Amino acid sequence: MYRIRLHGRGGQGMKTAGRILGSAFFLAGFEVQDAPRYGAERRGAPIFAYVRAGRTPILERGVISRPDLIIVADDHLLAMPGAGVLSGAQPQTAFLIHSHEKPSLWRERLNLQGPVFTLPGLPENELRFRGAACAGGAAALIPELNIDLLAEAVQEELAPLGPELVATNLGVARMAYASLAAHRGAVHEGGPVSAGEYTPPGWLTLACEEPLLSAPAIHAAATSELSQTGLWRTERPIIDGSRCNRCWWLCSTFCPEGAIQVDDERRPRIDYGHCKGCLVCLAQCPAHAISAVPEEEAAAQGETP
Amino acid sequence: MSETHYHHLRDLPSRHILGTGTPMCAGCGGLATLHQVYDLMGEKCVIVNGASCLTLLSVYPYTPFRGSWLYTAMACAPAGAQGVRDGLDILKKKGRISEAEDLEVVVLTGDGSAYGMGLSATSGAMDRNLDFLYLCYDNEGYGNTGQQFSPATPHAAHTATSKGPKGYPGYKKDLFGIWAAHQPSYVATVVAAEPLDLARKIERARSLTGPRLILALAPCPTGWDYEPSATVEIGKLAVQTGIWPLKEYVDGRVVHTKIPHPRLKVEEYLKAQGRFRHLFAPRENREMIAEIQAGVDRYWQQVEQEQEQPRS
Amino acid sequence: MTRKLLTGNGAAAWGARLARIDYLPAFPITPQTEIIETLSNWIEGRELECRMVTMESEHSMLTAAGAAAVTGVRVFTATSSQGLLYATEMLYTVAGWRVPLVMVNVSRGLSSPITLEPDHNDVLAMRDCGFLQLHCATCQEVLDNLLIAYRLAEHPTVRLPVLVNLDGFYLSFTREPVLIPTQAEVDRFLPPFNPGSIRFRGGEPLSEGVAVLEGAAYSYFRYEAHLASLQGIRVYEELGQEFAGLFGRSYTALECYKSEDAEIVFVMIGSFATKAKEAVDRLREAGKKVGLVRPRLVRPFPAAALRGALAGKKGVAVIDQNLSPGKGGILHGELASALYGMAEAPPVLASFVGGLGGRDISSEEFFEIHKAVQRAVSEGVNPSPRLLYTEEELRGVRTMQSVARAADTKQGGGA
């Protein structure tokens, strides 16, 4: 059975990518299971989806703990332990990463043993086609899938978007497929867990604990600040100190997150650890002192948050 | 409003006390409203919440609040407020807590609860003259479940359950009027895009006791389909086109705190949002746009007439 | 201490009064109304320093009750039947907050068809919500168990809401002699409520009722509530002993009546258990070795005590005044799971459903139940579940059906 896990952010089309792959497998005669997994998170937050494809009815269910292929739509997620991208990766697990970086760099950085492939990044305004790109790239790596099955699956899944968007997505998917066609067969089907030889789950017997511990209540202030929502950002607002007229209040008041504080000299400072990159500040700054830079670019320029 | 502390935008709080790092969407109009209100109120309040997007502000072990928070259920946040208010009053009366330990009680829900499921509990709380502030962030649909239409959805809007060419066939319920009919202490509409107006209304509301509603239009990039950066612009357009009248009810009178002049055409507001795209493409639906415009015009004509008439 | 004739509702009101409740959110429903009316009069007459607020529904009533409890005051409330079901969402919610409060439920059958008569389907529908459940058989027990309920709910290990159940009509409107302890005596047993750190206060951050969107943490919190509930068995037994020391009446998780040497045992909850006792006495006079075991606690379920009390018995008759359609009597299933696999499990565990919608259970029926179980024991076959229902009753229903023209309509007449 193929077990594929897709990681991306809300809004990057990972659910769609999973469905395209699921449909392609189904059209190829496989038994299929695909599903997205939602949490409380919103657009920009890490999410994942998964696809199983086998030759007999699939009895496994739920989260894939030992993926054969991990697809990463956004390479920033690899730096977020909370996103769980590497969870359950086996020595033979293949990686398909949407990244400008070279595969060798990721292999080294993450100490990966299995094959690693990257997809060329799309221009920023085409973020929403990442799903099609990931599905196209993955289809190229799986021997039982081909370009025709991929095209049919894209059409089936995206038809409600209208012919124009279907065509664009199809183009992106084909391009990604072509870029990895030489690596056909790089992803291998994994086997089931052995009942004869396995690591026991390490059960314990829960003790009754005092209600202060065992009631779901939070006895501290503003613990949400431990969540680094800055990692959701794809574009970074940057304040040009020389143009800021230190109006005191505007970007700071309008920031929905409260992520812009103003110091005693009326200088606004953006908390990049938490700024989600909505760019309301940019839109509202009367002095046009705020510009947006793609996050990759900002990071490359060493403008660390 | 000569007694206000908020004359200029720079009189607004520059320190923000609501914690960052929440799971709300980038550009969330509801969160924008809450953070402005929380800055004004301070942390000495208990927010009693009913099911809505903002319920997910507090997901164990994370909370943005520095004071208190209680999630109840979708139908009954005002009843939760009743229990907390009564509890605190009993403790004060019996001398078991000091004034310093007291808290303001604030209900926080979306429109699904405020306009629909929670309306019975809200009406009951007003019947009992409960001393509480109700903050409704109105994103005009069941946003937390993917923006299906709610009783607050405007006519013709596309939602996940009104995707036809005519959009939502119903009309937005007049929650302001429903509240005012109960003759509570205070009812006001606000929008985070007009922070000075919002601050004055919070200030006014807090100077009063009894049931008080702050009804905030909360532009929602995800549900209304626009770029997150446009959240403030959309809010401003809602006011400038007259679609979202800024007003308050106090002492039995309704006063408009900002009369848009000149009033922009409703198109300006509608065409900025994907949920109204079907009114402009593939073909412009002039009839529907005219109907929406006529509704807004009628409202403001009535306002003008009432202003001309001497008060009895 | 005074001895007075009190209804079950009156006893419940006295229990709440003596517990010095701070807060009473209410909503009227038959047959609970006398409780809140009585308390309201005492509050009005300044005999009780308590704030009462009439909410617009039971759902809101439970919300206000839980919210006030988490603010740190002692809360009492009461409902029945449809009201209990209407509040269901909040029963689960409030139990999850781990706040102590006491609620009386006056048991009444559920709609549809709507009825005013009692059975236990309402309270047993709330089996899984996290409230502890104390079931009373007499008006005295109602008063005493209300006092114990506060100690149980507020116990630092348990800290869960407690439901005290009394049967509509058979207790709620029935007067019996009840010993009312003095306030000073009760104060020695029940100190003021100390909410500890789970409370809303200015200057102390507390986010309560937060979402838990992750299986491991959710499992932990839910299972901890279960473990805390289980602790309630030991705590109830300890409180029962302490109560006996002060008031001379003892309470245990199980009431065992002549069951020690019995071969056949009736098992039931609530006020009709006193009718079972009467039947036991008559059967004993006739030379039958029979007894009664009555759980006072239904949640937590006193499984170990039941195993102890029923070990080695030849036959057990569970009489359920409730019905789970498609399954049968609820207590029968609960008991079977407690006894399964026990070395000395009674070979016969028979199920009888009776008393639905206020239907009486006569002495003759108890005798007949005994006879049926005796026969099953000698034949070695567990009997099929039986509804206690007579030919005469069906004749009566047939008369009603003819008035309702049900049969005519069936044949396509209708006119």
ipTM over 0.85: yes
> Shortest Cα distance from A227 to chain B (angstroms)?
5
Q: Could you tell me the CATH number of the domain that includes residue C55?
A: 3.40.50.970
Query: pLDDT tens digit string along C349-396?
Result: 999 999 999 999 999 999 999 999 999 999 999 999 999 999 999 999
pLDDT of residue A154: 96
Contact status of B268 with chain C (Cβ, < 8 Å): no
Q: Are C325 and C192 in the same domain?
A: no
Q: Does domain A2-183 have CATH number 3.40.50.1360?
A: no
CB pairs under 8 A between A and C: 64
- Check A206 against C224: CB less than 8 A apart: yes
Kindly state whether residue C267 falls inside one of the protein's structural domains. yes
Kindly state whether residue C72 falls inside one of the protein's structural domains. yes
- Check C25 against B72: CB less than 8 A apart: no
Chain A residues inside the 8 Å CB shell of B228: 43, 276, 278-280
Query: pLDDT tens digit string along A198-210?
Result: 999 999 999 999 9
> Shortest Cα distance from A205 to chain C (angstroms)?
11
Q: How confident is the prediction for chain C on average, in pLDDT?
A: 96
Q: Are C306 and C279 in the same domain?
A: yes
Substitution target in A219, A223, A224 with the highest count of C β-carbons within 10 Å is A219
- Check C205 against B46: CB less than 8 A apart: no
Total domains in the fold of chain C: 2
Nearest to A21 by CA among A156, A129, A139, A159: A139
- Check C224 against A214: CB less than 8 A apart: yes
Across chain B, the runs of DSSP E, i.e. the strands, are 45-49, 68-71, 104-110, 132-138, 186-191, 211-217, 246-250, 253-258
Contact status of A215 with chain C (Cβ, < 8 Å): yes
Query: pLDDT tens digit string along C173-223?
Result: 999 999 999 999 999 999 999 998 889 999 999 999 999 998 999 999 999
Which residues of chain B fall short of a pLDDT of 50? Answer: 1, 312
Q: Is the pTM of this model over 0.90?
A: yes
Nearest CA in chain C to A217: C208
pLDDT of residue A304: 52
CA dist list (Å): B281 to A128, B294, C385: 21, 21, 68
Kindly state whether residue C415 falls inside one of the protein's structural domains. no
Kindly state whether residue C407 falls inside one of the protein's structural domains. no
Chain B residues inside the 8 Å CB shell of A221: 19, 43, 63, 65-67
Q: Are C18 and C99 in the same domain?
A: yes
**C415 or B85, higher pLDDT:** B85
Fold of B9-307: Rossmann fold (3.40.50)
**Look-up: residue for tokens 């639905």?**
C356
Give the residue-averaged pLDDT of A186-190.
95
Chain A residues inside the 8 Å CB shell of B236: none
**What does DSSP say about strands A31-37 and A46-54: parallel, antiparallel, or unpaired?**
antiparallel
Kindly state whether residue C387 falls inside one of the protein's structural domains. yes
Nearest CA in chain B to A273: B21
Model confidence at A95: pLDDT above 50 = yes
Model confidence at C415: pLDDT above 60 = no
Q: How would residue A13 be classed by pLDDT, with cut points 50, 70 and 90?
A: confident
Model confidence at A41: pLDDT above 70 = no
- CA–CA separation, C140 vs B132, rounded Å? 41
Query: What are B92's two structure tokens?
Result: 């004060």
**Look-up: residue for tokens 């109304």?**
C33
DSSP track, B59-92: BTTB---SSEEEE--TT-HHHHHHHHHHHHHHHH
Contact status of B158 with chain A (Cβ, < 8 Å): no
Nearest to B215 by CA among B236, B252, B246: B246
Of B60, B79, B121, the CB nearest to C210: B60
> Shortest Cα distance from C341 to chain B (angstroms)?
40
The domain containing residue C42 runs over which residues?
2-200+208-247
How is chain B split into domains, by residue range?
A: 9-307
Q: Are C283 and C242 in the same domain?
A: no
Contact status of B19 with chain C (Cβ, < 8 Å): no
Q: Which CATH code of 3.30.70.20, 3.40.50.1820, 3.40.30.10, 3.30.499.10 fits the domain covering A227-300?
A: 3.30.70.20
Q: Which chains touch B (3 or more CB pairs under 8 A)?
A: A, C
3-state secondary structure chain C: CEEEEECHHHHHHHHHHHCCCCEEEECCCCCCHHHHHHHHHHHHCCCCCCEEEECCCHHHHHHHHHHHHHHCCCEEEEECHHHHHHCHHHHHHHHHCCCCCEEEEEECCCCCCCCCCCCCHHHHCCCCCCCEEEECCCHHHHHHHHHHHHHHHHCCCCCCCEEEEEECCCCCCCCEEEEECCHHHHHHHCCCCCCCCCCCECCECEEECCECCCHHHHHHHHHHHHHHHHHHHHHHHHHHHHHHHHHCCCCCCEEEECCCCCCEEEECCCCCHHHHHHHHHHHHHCCCCEEEEEECEEECCCHHHHHHHHCCCCEEEEEECCCECCCECHHHHHHHHHHCCCCCCCCEEEEEECCHHHCCCCHHHHHHHHHHHHHHHHHCCCCCCEECCCHHHHHHHHHHHHHCCHHHHHCCCCC
Q: Are C115 and C93 in the same domain?
A: yes
Kindly state whether residue C189 falls inside one of the protein's structural domains. yes
- Check C60 against B76: CB less than 8 A apart: yes
Chain B residues inside the 8 Å CB shell of A260: 16
> Shortest Cα distance from C80 to chain A (angstroms)?
28
How is chain A split into domains, by residue range?
A: 2-183, 227-300
Nearest CA in chain B to C25: B83
Q: How would residue A121 be classed by pLDDT, with cut points 50, 70 and 90?
A: low
Q: How confident is the prediction for chain A on average, in pLDDT?
A: 91
At position A258, the amino acid (one-letter code) is G
Task: State the sign of the Cα–Cα–Cα–Cα dihedral A75, B26, A281, B237.
Answer: positive
**Look-up: residue for tokens 């409260």?**
A258
CA dist list (Å): C316 to A214, B210, C332, C333, C356: 38, 59, 10, 13, 21
Q: Are C111 and C188 in the same domain?
A: yes
A291: enclosing H helix or E strand: strand A290-294
Query: What are B91's two structure tokens?
Result: 């403790």
Chain C residues inside the 8 Å CB shell of B48: 67
Q: Which of residues 221-280 of B touch A (CB under 8 A)?
A: 221-222, 227-233
Query: What is the C-alpha R_g of chain A?
Result: 22
Q: How would residue A302 be classed by pLDDT, with cut points 50, 70 and 90?
A: low
Q: Are residues B213 and B188 in contact, defined by beta-carbon separation less than 8 angstroms?
A: yes
Q: Are C149 and C33 in the same domain?
A: yes
What is the three-class DSSP state of A50? strand
Query: pLDDT tens digit string along B176-212?
Result: 999 999 999 999 999 999 999 999 999 999 999 999 9
Q: Are C184 and C269 in the same domain?
A: no
Torsion of CA C90, C91, C92, C96, to 10 degrees: 90
Task: State the sign of the Cα–Cα–Cα–Cα dihedral B39, B44, B50, B54.
Answer: positive
Query: pLDDT tens digit string along C86-142?
Result: 999 999 999 999 999 999 999 999 999 999 999 999 999 999 999 999 999 999 999
Q: Which of residues 64-83 of B touch C (CB under 8 A)?
A: 65-73, 75-76, 78-83
Q: Are C258 and C243 in the same domain?
A: no
- CA–CA separation, C90 vs C180, rounded Å? 32
Q: Are C376 and C301 in the same domain?
A: yes
A46: enclosing H helix or E strand: strand A46-54
